[in-house]
Structure 1
């Protein structure tokens, strides 16, 4: 047995490239890249998907609460009495917006501290937010807890998942991130009917308490798996030595000036803002819009599950396809199709004179939008690696996610206000202006993504060769 071990050690040293007569120094060993095992890749994907399944799944199922809270707005004893759809929608908007507005800080802390510590902190804040919301007696208390505080907790759990996971993959990065971010869709499929059932049987307060407990357990169990890939870990440890104390905690990774002033960066930021301003509006209003078409509350909540099922399938399939046809190409196609779905299906659904036609158009919109609009979210971080390099990924990712959060903070409340402005009308008519706004924003986002694609193509031409797969 000693001979076998010796031979194994010798062959290993030869594979690495060291001379057996001159054994490597500890520094040489430390700098050698260690290839992660398949199990490590699987664990990272499973852990990241579970985190997103938990925090984003609950967040993306807010449409269930939106429908319930709008119904309670006519009950004088409820915290939502007299609240408009826009005021109620602000709860979900705050949570989704802050999920990414805080991205620069969450990303910086994930680089400075072990990612699992940041995720644990997020789990505590997220669960506490839901628990406190269950005791809220006024509208502003629900907005502060289920909205603002929940968004902060989501950010501290979500951003480490989407920042750490891409560093572990190269050739299959699109597929990996498609699986990871399918957690939003899978979460919506599971959480939407579960939350509706809990609310129906126990009330919205107990629903918040139960989901808080489940979320805390899932995040606590998953967090220990999350860590940086070895090369990235060494680089971030070196960076952390140069920042300490309170100032270090508040320091965020700045985008390189040469990147920030480029046309590509501006176009990518513009596309990210426009897409995000539109994206979450249908997600939040699927259930309440379905109610205007004559569906029951239980069936209406199933539209959220249907959209999220399409979301999960689309992210995986399109993520895999993106590795083959090019991630920027896939980003453009999915954004364009989501714009066509809004303009060609949701708007006609709100304008149709017959309920049957409106229903058919809305079902088609729910599926197509779930597949293609959500794919943008999984392709977005992979496109940043393609455009700006892995060495700039963390800083660019954090900044552009913040841009997306700020855009959501503007776009979704405006959409909610447009619904309120037409509440005197019957049926789906009050949603016409909102559907038009979403369609126009997505069409504009498509043009911005096409601009990014052109900039990338020109860059490759300047380097001496045309490249279709981008």
Structure 2
């Protein structure tokens, strides 16, 4: 009878400086004496395989602006990025033929978003296999794809819109979306061997009642209430308050996106070395000072652009410590009891719920900011903020409350 042994990678060995051979492209089965087989896995946290996977995830994050099924059928998930990107391209192309608003909402608002989730979920799931000790940095680099895409893609689309109109632009981008993503399909793959189907493990959602999670989530939702306001009002502020032309006003959003990409990577790197609350406080201090001092007293474009860079770098990187937060919640004593009962906390599920909370803040901030802006127009300040004083004050205040977890930790209210 042939016996097999599986050699699983231990990340601590790599940290000790072990001299390993060049990692292979996939799990390779080597023939050993007496009919034994050994599976050698690519290393985590280092090696060409891990960094190529991270690069591909970064690209998908830039191009894409279920988890349960993909957990259930991991082998089929290997093709999810390709399928999702194809559907996204079809959705954009179909939206170019829209004659009614409901059709446009269905193609761009529903179909495109669902397809993007299908293509993106494997990156979230498999990133934890490829990166263990450097997980914060890896997530930061991947999430910085949003900022990079928000810098490059709008410039390209604006040029196409001006020359060819929206219908041709949508069709062209639908094709380009798939063509640009094809090279990364090969790189998006799991590190660990997968089976055609895996048993469905019970998922414990009780973490949503965990005090540590609730404190983090509360601060995050409040922070998100004001986080999105600058990206909504900066171009209008530049034009109405400073008399900037269209491109110079649009440049404010581009600068925020560029600096967000660098901030995500930097704070993700720090999250692997510092406590999550410390990283959140770094983000909070930069965002608060930038909002109150730079945007509040921005009476010229240079000061406003400086605010865009500071705000994007610090406020845009607020989610970067989230992987460290998931580790903290999973290592909590209540979680160990959950493991003892055979139930598990899924780190991707924790990230998903935190993202959903941030989305709630985004939805509420729109109507709320309109009310603030209308109120501010009645009492225009000549020294600070002008007609946007209420919006600026609200943005800075919510950013300040977003750092409350730092004090919760010092008060002993969380682990």
What is the TM-score with the length of structure 1 in the denominator?
A: 0.67
Alignment check: 8 A CA contact 1:268 1:452 kept: no
Residue 346 of structure 1 is matched in structure 2 by 295
1:109 to 2:51 alignment: no
Q: Which has the higher contact order (CA 8 A, sep 6+)?
A: 1
Q: Equivalent of 1:328, from 261, 274, 277?
A: 277
Do the aligned residues in 2 keep the contact of 1:116 with 1:224 (CA within 8 Å)? no
Counterpart CA distance in 2 for 1:196 and 1:216 is 19
Change over 3 Å in CA distance of 1:220–1:307 after alignment to 2: same
Residue number among 297, 305, 308 corresponding to 2:257 in the alignment: 308
Alpha carbons of 1:159 and 1:416: their partners in 2 closer, same or farther (altered >3 Å)? farther
Structure 1 residues 302 and 444: CA distance shift in structure 2, 3 A: same
Distance verdict in 2 for CA 1:222–1:449, change over 3 Å? farther
Greater mean deviation of Cα atoms: 391-400 or 136-145: 136-145
Equivalent in the alignment of 2:358: 404
Note the C-alpha offset of 1:454: 5.5
Q: Distance in 2 between matches of 1:421 and 1:150?
A: 37
* Alignment map for 1:52-451 (pairs within 5 Å): 52-56=61-65, 106-114=66-74, 115-230=77-192, 240-242=198-200, 254-257=203-206, 259-292=207-240, 293-349=242-298, 357-389=299-331, 392-416=346-370, 418-419=372-373, 431-448=388-405, 450-451=407-408
Q: Check 1:140–1:358 CA distance in 2 against 1; reply closer, same or farther (3 A cut).
A: farther
Instruction: Kindly provide the CA deviation profile for residues 202-257 of structure 1, in whole angstroms up to 9, marking residues without a partner as x.
Output: 223333332222212233432342233317x57xx77x3348xxxxxxxxx74442
Equivalent pair of 1:125/1:152 in contact (CA under 8 Å) = no
Shift of 1:266: 0.7
RMSD of aligned C-alpha atoms? 3.5
Cα distance, 1:25 vs. partner?
5.8
Task: Indicate how the Cα distance of structure 1 residues 168 and 340 shifts in structure 2: closer, same or farther if over 3 A, else same.
Answer: same
Instruction: Tell me if the contact between 2:42 and 2:191 (Cα under 8 Å) persists in the aligned partners.
Output: no
Q: Distance in 2 between matches of 1:422 and 1:131?
A: 42
CA 319–291 in structure 1, closer or farther in 2 if over 3 Å, else same: same
Task: Tell me by how many angstroms 1:367 deviates.
Answer: 0.7
Residue of 43, 46, 50 corresponding to 1:35: 43
- CA, structure 1 residues 363+229, in 2 after alignment: closer, same or farther (shift >3 Å)? same
> Cα distance, 1:393 vs. partner?
1.0
What TM-score comes out, normalization by structure 2 length? 0.75
Structure 1 residue 424: Cα displacement: 9.7
Structure 2, unaligned stretches of length 5 or more? 1-19, 21-30, 332-343
1:404 CA drift (Å)? 2.2
Classify the secondary structure of the residue corresponding to 1:184. helix
Residue deviations 1:291-347, cap 9 Å, x none?
Answer: 323222222222222111211222222322333334432122113321332233334
TM-superposed CA distance for 1:264, in Å, is: 0.4
- Who is 1:89 aligned against? none
